[in-house]
Amino acid sequence: TSATSSHLGGIQVAPPDAILGLTDAFKADKNPDKMNLSVGVYKDASGQTPILRCVKAAERHLVETEATKGYLPIDGGPDYRDHVRTLVFGSEIDSTRVCVAQTPGGTGGLRQAAAFLADQMGPTRVWIPSPTWANHKAIFASEELPIEEYRYLADDKKSLDAAGMLEDLRTRSKPGDAVLLHACCHNPTGVDPTLSQWKEIASVVSEKRLLPLIDFAYQGFGTGLEEDAKSIAEILSQVDEAFVCSSFSKNFGLYSERVGALSIVSADAKTSVSVQSQMKRLIRCNYSNPPRHGAAVVAAILDDADLTTMWHDELNQMRTRIKDLRERFVTTMKSTGAGHDFSFLLDQNGMFSFSGLNPMQVDELRNEHSIYIVGSGRINVAGMSENKMEQLCGAVAKVIEG
């Protein structure tokens, strides 16, 4: 059929998702020693992405007690929303200023935030860090929001270009622009501002009257649940309004259940009522209302003191294991004698780090050693394993030495 007589015949093949495409290649690879350090999921020592014990317990409880699969409210259940508000903002915040909507994952939260900016405020120009999670650009572009980049990673590819970031926001942004910030565990670099740098960022956001749009996909993976929220508290100590997109994919291991939230903080309760109503209107014509199961699991855990303690323990284990893998990688790389110091990985947070490997070295790792990492050199540290560390470091040493 020619494109002129067919409605669909002229459609071109879209490029595959850069990261999920790598997973397809990984699955097809026959090498038994292959390693996937690309996609951002946590793996335990046996290479599995486990269901947390607290989640299993909550699910058993739900099977016994859940009475309906009727629709949830457009913005999710009130119990879940209260828990999200406390996790993100602590118990001190005036709850009448915060409206929370349960969303399908952190991605759903970001997309609803973008829809809100496009529909109610704009279209607002959005500043994103360079680099950032690849999906950020696509999400804001889908709502036709203009996008600008601010400097983030320094030229050494290991540290924050704080001066560049502050200068870009101070001199290039205009009042009313939104600025996307990663609250902790910056993806893809693992490089986070210190608390005193957050103070400076908050000052610029306040001076320039920018709207903070905070991506909080890794709460608990940096230093701890409360510690990781300090960046948000710092911002809110200097400005009255903010958007926060939470994801419970990583910290509850609920990836495929699609559990997240969009919280919008307003200056006063009256504004918050209007904001909540518009947020609901926008959700209604998108996915109508959120899925029940994952959010019910989260709420069941946070409603129960024992399950909450169990969750804290399991989250701490994931976080400390990743830190331990960072240390093992650095010391094992030292012992290869490859002469490349990776100790900067120890200063970085969360699942990811920029390894500094160039695209040629990344290709060679894949082609010669069946080790899959993203072309930018981003490594998912949480995908490493203790028993394959020698193999990994040996291969990295080989590609570095050329």
Residues designated catalytic: 133, 215, 250
Which of 345, 340, 347 has its CA nearest to residue 326? 345
Cα separation, 350 vs 323, in Å, equals: 8
Cis upstream peptide for 123 (omega within 30°): yes
CB of 4 to ligand PLP, least distance (A): 39
CB of 222 to ligand PLP, least distance (A): 13
Residues at the interface with ligand PLP (CB under 6 A):
40, 105-107, 133, 182, 187, 215, 217, 247, 249, 260
If the CB atoms of residues 38 and 247 are measured against ligand PLP, the closer one turns out to be 247
Q: Which residues is 382 bridged to in the sheet? A: none
If the CB atoms of residues 282 and 396 are measured against ligand PLP, the closer one turns out to be 282
CB of 120 to ligand PLP, least distance (A): 22
Cα separation, 184 vs 193, in Å, equals: 8
If the CB atoms of residues 39 and 62 are measured against ligand PLP, the closer one turns out to be 39
CB of 245 to ligand PLP, least distance (A): 7
Strand runs (DSSP E) across 112-267, as ranges? 126-130, 147-151, 178-182, 211-216, 242-247, 260-265
Taking each continuous run of H as one helix and of E as one strand, the counts in the chain are 14, 11
CB of 266 to ligand PLP, least distance (A): 23
Distances (CA, A) of 350 to 29, 105, 205: 28, 18, 25
Cα separation, 303 vs 220, in Å, equals: 18
In the bound state, the residue with its beta carbon closest to ligand PLP is 105
If the CB atoms of residues 105 and 190 are measured against ligand PLP, the closer one turns out to be 105
Q: Which residues is 182 bridged to in the sheet? A: 215
Q: What letter represents residue 320's amino acid?
A: T
Q: How far is CA 39 from the centre of its chain?
A: 12
Cα separation, 23 vs 372, in Å, equals: 8
If the CB atoms of residues 185 and 395 are measured against ligand PLP, the closer one turns out to be 185
Cα separation, 272 vs 274, in Å, equals: 5
If the CB atoms of residues 238 and 255 are measured against ligand PLP, the closer one turns out to be 255
Q: Which two tokens stand for residue 86?
A: 């406390």
Whose tokens are 């399950």? That residue is 307
CB of 134 to ligand PLP, least distance (A): 9
Helices (H), 208-304: 225-228, 230-236, 269-284, 293-302
Nearest 10 degrees: CA dihedral of 264, 239, 181, 277?
10
